[in-house]
Structure 1
Amino acid sequence: MEAEDFWLEYVDARGESRGGPLEVMWRARFETAGQVRAFPSYRGQRNFSGWYWAATCSELVGYESWVELGHLMRLDADPDVVAVASQPFRLSWRYGGQGRRIRHTPDYFVRRRDGTAVVVDVRPDGRIESGDAAKFSATAEGCARVGWGFERLGVLDPVFVANLRWLSGYRHPRVRREPVAGAVLAVFSEPLGLLAGARAVGDPLAVLPVLYHLLWRRELAAELRTERLSAASLVRLAPTAVREVGWDADSPEAAVAG
């Protein structure tokens, strides 16, 4: 049964509530919107929520689980992403003329460098019940109507997440220092071990933070999905025209609908 009568509600940058048909409201800048709901907090809570400072947009972005945090870091490291907003809007719809409205709040709204948008829900494969699947399917249908992409993402590989977490500590733009950054890029124009390359530039204590920042920004590339980053990791200059496979969301962990 197809969803119909999509209605969207959100909180604008001034904190005012807005609502209307999806086909009318979709042009809003949801990357600057406030969260439409707060994260719950209670005794015995199993999930872990918090705030992550995204270097991409220099804003705090919320997450409700370690799984969400992993994807949030991955999005923040993607040079094609320019903004991410948490709990960006509430979408509701009916099925087949039924009176009761079904509601769903996606986890993230992602704005890409080319101006396109992707709506993201994060849910491990083993935690999707029939009602959840129906909501994800309807959300994907609504997104398709207005030209948005939709992704339902599962659990990232723990090795990849560990590498993301380490590199995220060097995500702030101030970590990139010249002329060190230029020298690091020059050294890794040919594949070289991480520590060997750092030593070729100078004192590793001064060089490594810059090197990690360049890996985070994907100006340098290394195998991050199957191997923990180490002194021996092979690092190379990242191709400018081809997205590094190690960072791509188009993987077994990502299920795309719509």
Structure 2
Amino acid sequence: MEIGFVDADGREHRMPLAAAADVPFEQVRPVRAFPTFKGQRNFPGWYYAATTQGHIAFESWLERDHLMCLDFDPDVHAIAAQPFWLFWATEHGLRRSHAPDLLARRADGSALVVDSRPAERIRPRDQRAFEATRQACSELGWDYRVWGQVDPVFMANMRWLAGYRHERCYNATVADRLRSVFTDQEVPLTQGAVQAGEPLRTLPVLFHLMWRRELVADLSLLLGEHTPVSVARGATR
């Protein structure tokens, strides 16, 4: 099996899989473009990732949702889209290739490779490509996942909080007041925002702190004014 990628300077590389263990794939360029054309069923675009403070391309709304989930994960420190091609020959001698959708580099240096595909759309040919990708990732010591649809309630909460992911939503003075309000016990979301000051000023900061996971709530339930919120364990004031 071989691996191909485009480095940060735009140079193309192809090498044996075993030689790629030390390549910083979180810094590479996408190995293929995301075309747009009339009548297409998928919706490509760009997602601004707070993790990388830059835009990352996606080629479907499902992939965008997965990007958002990786961006929300505090263990993820870098993300790349379409990071590499894998090339291999089947047992019948046929040449195959596959470019996984996403790669995330964690704080401990480990990597997670993700393919975004709804379960009902995985065909036998796709399954064989995914299995080859799983084997390749295993050889490199990476984790590999095929992600389908995300729980709709959790995803609705993600999309809301992601609207406040940018640093412009942060205010240090307001953030300190919010941490004080929510430190000792769970407080309903809107009540805590009111205790910290004028809600029009405190709510954006509150949601930003929730995005950063300094303030936490049960995101398996739809966020609302009565949602119990508290300071995350181990969070510093």
Do the two structures share a fold, i.e. TM-score over 0.5? Answer: yes
Partner residue of 1:110? 104
Structure-1 residue corresponding to 2:123: 129
Q: Distance in 1 between matches of 2:68 and 2:211?
A: 10
Q: CA–CA distance in 2 between the matches of 1:165 and 1:240?
A: 25
Give 5+ residue unaligned stretches, structure 1: 1-5, 242-258
Whether 1:238 and 2:232 are equivalent positions in the alignment is: yes
Q: How far 1:240 sits from its partner (Å)?
A: 3.2
What TM-score, normalized to structure 1? 0.88
Alignment match, 2:168: 174
- Does the C-alpha gap of structure 1 residues 240 and 133 become closer, same or farther in structure 2, counting only changes over 3 Å? farther
CA distance in 1, matches of 2:212, 2:60: 24
CA distance in 2 between partners of 1:70 and 1:161 (Å)? 7
1:50 is aligned to 2:39: no
Aligned to 2:70: 75
AA of the residue aligned to 1:110: A
Match of 1:217 in 2: 212
Name the residue aligned to 2:222: 228
Runs of at least 4 residues of structure 1 off by over 2 A?
none
Structure 1 residue matching 2:172: 3-state secondary structure: coil
Pairing partner for 1:143 from 119, 137, 158: 137
Contact preservation (8 Å) 1:19, 1:25: no
Q: Give the distance between the partners of 2:105 and 2:59, measured in 1 at CA.
A: 20
Shift of 1:74: 0.9
Which secondary structure does the structure 2 equivalent of 1:34 belong to? coil
> Quick check: 1:84 aligned with 2:79?
yes
1:58-114: CA deviations, max 9, x gaps?
A: 121111111111111111011100011000010111233x43221000000110011
1:238 CA drift (Å) = 1.5
TM-score (norm 2): 0.95
Alignment coverage as a number of residue pairs:
234
Instruction: Report the counterpart of residue 188 of structure 1 in structure 2.
Output: 182
- Partner Cα separation in structure 1 for residue 228 and residue 59 of structure 2: 34
Partner of residue 13, structure 1: 8
Partner of 1:256: none
1:91-149 CA distance string (max 9 Å, x none): 111233x4322100000011001111111101011100111111111101110001011
- Per the alignment, in what secondary structure is the counterpart of residue 85 of structure 1? strand
Q: Deviations over 1:165-205 (max 9, x none)?
A: 11111111232211211221121121010000011110011
In 1, the alpha carbon distance for the partners of 2:170 and 2:35 equals: 37
Separation of aligned partners in 2, 1:154 and 1:10:
25
Contact conserved, 1:90 with 1:105, CA < 8 A, in 2? yes
Distance in 2 between residues matched to 1:44 and 1:238, nearest whole Å? 45
Structure 2's unaligned 5+ residue stretches are: none
Deviation at 1:51, TM superposition (A): 0.3
- Percent identical among aligned pairs is 47
